[in-house]
Amino acid sequence: MTLLCVYLMAAFGLNLIVGYAGQMSIGQAAFYGIGAYIAGILMVKMGISFWLVLPIAAVACFAIGLALGFPALRVQHHYLAFATLGFNVLVFLVMRNEEQLTGGTFGISNIPRPSLFGWSLDGALPFFYFAFASVIILALVLWWLLRSPWGRAFAALRDNPIRAESTGVNITAYTLLAFAIGAACAGIGGVYLAALVNFIEPGQFHLSVSLMMLLAVIVGGSGRFFGPVLGSVVVILLPEWLRFLQDWYLAIFGFAVIVLMVFLPGGLLSLADRFKARGAAK
């Protein structure tokens, strides 16, 4: 459940990019990794406090997210997907090959958990409560942002960029901001992940993780605030619940996702709309 909270931080950010601003990204795990490695390097090698590392990672990911947003100003859809995919691969290679800085394939271990007002968060349960409270705070901040005129501008950009620009929406600024805020959320998630598992290595931030995050957003309902919550539950917990099927559990999980995408392309939360529409038709 703690991993779910941490994962959700990155998924909320991805939902802002994909679901609200209408941009494609399959590089979210790169920011998750950058946040985690900033935490690992600064906390283990330099002894900097978790509380200082958290804003540093968020700001660093925000800045890198701004830079990654630039391709989105020139290309869209699958071209943009490949640009972000390339970024994820690049970050993965840096994590694996820059051994002096990142520990290479050996990773970074002994990442400490923080304490809060003198209370140790070392135990599994205290850290869960801490991660749970943190994801709620992050969700509230995003909720407030999406309810503000910025949220409407993001939606305008997603629905119709041509009209958005002619109604004064600065599509350059809003595209970059969507990537930057989404990246910052993933960076924060990465710091929590590092503290949760105490050990990070490049495999945790592979392209497949980005794809799973995108799957979580789409399965739950892209562009719906609680979509990533439901999607992350499905993507993270469903395979665990299916383990009683032993060798078949991943195959059944894959099949369930295919069925879901075919019959509910709008995600699980679109079910409510379907029932509403049926009720209205009757």
CB-nearer residue toward other proteins: 262 or 280: 280
Report the chain's C-alpha Rg in angstroms.
Answer: 19
**Between residues 82 and 150, which has the closer beta carbon with respect to other proteins?**
150
Determine if 279 is a binding residue for other proteins (CB under 8 A): no
CB of 121 to other proteins, least distance (A): 32
Minimum CB–partner distance for residue 215 and other proteins (Å): 22
> Which residues in the 160-179 window bind other proteins by CB under 8 A?
160, 162-171, 173
- Residue 266 Cβ, how far from other proteins at the closest point, in Å? 11
Under rule CB under 8 A, how many of the chain's residues touch other proteins? 24
Report in angstroms how near the CB of residue 257 gets to other proteins at its nearest: 24
What's the rounded Cα separation, in Å, for the pair 49 and 45? 11
Please give the biggest Cα pair distance in the chain. Answer: 66
Q: How far is the CB of 230 from other proteins (least distance, A)?
A: 19
Nearer Cβ to other proteins, position 202 or 220? Answer: 220
Q: Which long-range CB contacts under 8 A does 212-216 form with residues at least 24 apart?
A: 213/7, 213/10, 213/11, 213/14, 213/28, 213/29, 213/32, 214/14, 214/18, 214/25, 214/26, 214/28, 215/257, 216/7, 216/11, 216/14
Task: Kindly state the smallest distance separating residue 144's Cβ from other proteins, in Å.
Answer: 9
Sites for other proteins among residues 133-162 (CB under 8 A): 145, 147-150, 152-153, 155-156, 158-160, 162
Question: CB of 268: closest distance to other proteins in angstroms?
Answer: 18
Task: List the one residue out of 126, 104, 94 whose CA is nearest residue 113.
Answer: 126
Q: Residue 74 or 117: which CB sits closer to other proteins?
A: 74
Q: Which is nearer to other proteins, 46 or 162 (CB)?
A: 162
Q: State the burial class of residue 149 (Cβ atoms within 10 Å of its Cβ: 0-12, 13-18, 19+).
A: exposed
Q: Using the minimum distance from each CB to other proteins, give the nearer residue, 3 or 171.
A: 171
Q: Which of 77/163 has CB closer to other proteins?
A: 163
Region for 60 from its dihedrals, namely left if φ exceeds 0, alpha if ψ lies in -120 to 50, beta otherwise: alpha
Compute the 3-state secondary structure of the chain and give helix, strand, coil in percent, each to the nearest 5: 80, 0, 20
Q: Residue for token digits 């051994």? A: 99
Q: Which residues pair with 200 in a beta bridge?
A: 108
- CA pair distance 114, 129, nearest whole angstrom: 13
Which residues in 180-239 contact other proteins (CB under 8 A)? 223
Binding residues for other proteins, rule: CB under 8 A, are 145, 147-150, 152-153, 155-156, 158-160, 162-171, 173, 223
